[in-house]
Amino acid sequence: MTVRLRVPLAVRSFRMLAASVATLPGDLWCLTSLLRRRRVTVVNVHFPDLTAWAFLVLRVLGLFRGEILLSVHGAEVTAIGAAQGLERTLWRLLLRGADGVVACSDALRADVVRIEPRARVVAIHNGADFALFDHPHPVRAVRRAILHVAKFEHKKAQDVLLKAMKRLLGTVPDASLTLVGAAGPELAGVRALVTELGLEGHVKLHVDVPHEQLPPFFGRADVFVLPSRAEPFGIVLLEAGAAGLPVVASAVGGIPELIEDGVTGLLVPPDDVASLEQALRTLLVEPARADRLAEAWHRKAVTTWSWDRTCAQYLKVLNECKRSR
């Protein structure tokens, strides 16, 4: 059964609020029927928007007596931070009214607390599907193939990566770069920049590749890079670790909670073309160091971040919510 909630999704005026209230009784009735039919005792809203308010309303009316968790993963927190007026007030009340808010990193947790200090926020790291990516990676004397997997959008900084690649070819002329990601607002710009920099023979783009078809790309790569301008967590880094790849990433958001610079990977400042090029060159021309970093990252990734561990932490938070209520 699908319930379409029309309670305030992007309320920016009292007029919009009044229009949504007109449909509220029918929406709440459908939602209540669904919760009762499925015997739902816990609602965990991932990537929440203001429709999550419906669950708070049901609880105030005595129509739902379970726990309400909100799980945030990054983009929605950015949107909340930019909200103004009534919309921001509703967001703060929602964050405060939930029994718990789960952020996927300590860095993201701090962002939520800055928005609503009274929210009960905990950080629980994501896991990864290690079985899908955990395959033996051949040890090669020389590394040349670089892989980047991310949506084509500004925060993923493909433009910075391409400029670093242009510099890198001056010292490693046979290096190659593969960009894999979902189509996004920067896709056309990335394609144009490849042409502008004369990188057609060294850069390949693969768009909208299904997740289950990603492992072969990791299997053919020698180095993984994630030069994001913002990154709440970075599951793809765990996948690279499972595949046995050394990684270069920007020191933003939750990435430093995963990667220890010089121990399990190399971290660089965001938007720093020279530092990114230097880190990539290090892994390409120093295979022994690259192998040490890859082995350390593989060991830490597959033994630290599993979905079973994440699930256990969610259950612990839920039990604490029950006790507090």
**Which domains are present in the chain?**
14-127+308-324 (3.40.50.2000), 130-304 (3.40.50.2000)
| Closest by CA position to 34, among listed 3, 4, 56 | 3
Answer yes or no: is pLDDT of 4 > 90: no
| Closest by CA position to 120, among listed 82, 79, 69 | 69
Higher pLDDT, 264 or 4: 264
Answer yes or no: is pLDDT of 18 > 90: no
| Closest by CA position to 310, among listed 144, 125, 161, 134 | 125
| Closest by CA position to 26, among listed 4, 56, 53 | 4
Identify the pLDDT of residue 171.
95
Estimate to the nearest angstrom the gap between the alpha carbon of 56 and the chain centroid: 27
Q: What is the mean pLDDT of residues 243-268?
A: 97
Is residue 214 helix, strand or coil? coil
Identify the pLDDT of residue 140.
52
302 CB neighbour count, 10 Å cutoff: 18
Please report, for residues 21, 77, 192, 209, the alpha-carbon distance to residue 199 in angstroms, rounded to integers and kept in the order given. Answer: 54, 36, 10, 22
- The residues, ordered by sequence, that sit 6+ positions from 125 with a Cβ below 8 Å of its Cβ are 104, 105, 233, 254, 257, 258, 305, 310
Q: Residues 167, 141: contact at Cβ < 8 Å?
A: no
Kindly report, residue by residue over 77-129, the tens digit of the pLDDT. 998 988 888 889 999 999 999 999 999 999 999 999 999 999 999 999 999 98
Strands (E) in the chain, as ranges, are 42-46, 67-72, 100-103, 121-123, 145-149, 176-181, 203-207, 223-226, 247-250, 266-268
**DSSP code for 213:** G
| Closest by CA position to 151, among listed 60, 78, 236 | 236
The C-alpha angle with vertex 238 and arms to 235 and 239, in degrees rounded to 5, equals 90
Kindly report, residue by residue over 130-159, the tens digit of the pLDDT. 888 876 555 554 569 999 999 999 999 999
Distance CA 280, CA 119 (A): 41
Q: Residues 276, 227: contact at Cβ < 8 Å?
A: yes
Answer yes or no: is pLDDT of 23 > 90: no
Kindly report, residue by residue over 268-299, the tens digit of the pLDDT. 999 999 999 999 999 999 999 999 999 999 99
Distance CA 298, CA 63 (A): 48
Identify the pLDDT of residue 106.
97
Q: Which residues pair with 226 in a beta bridge?
A: 249
For the chain, give the mean pLDDT: 91
Identify the pLDDT of residue 3.
60
Is residue 86 helix, strand or coil? helix
Q: Residues 261, 267: contact at Cβ < 8 Å?
A: yes
Burial of 310 (0-12, 13-18, 19+ CB in 10 A): middle
Kindly report, residue by residue over 187-211, the tens digit of the pLDDT. 999 999 999 999 999 999 999 999 9
Model confidence at 16, pLDDT cuts 50, 70, 90, reads low
Q: Residues 160, 280: contact at Cβ < 8 Å?
A: no
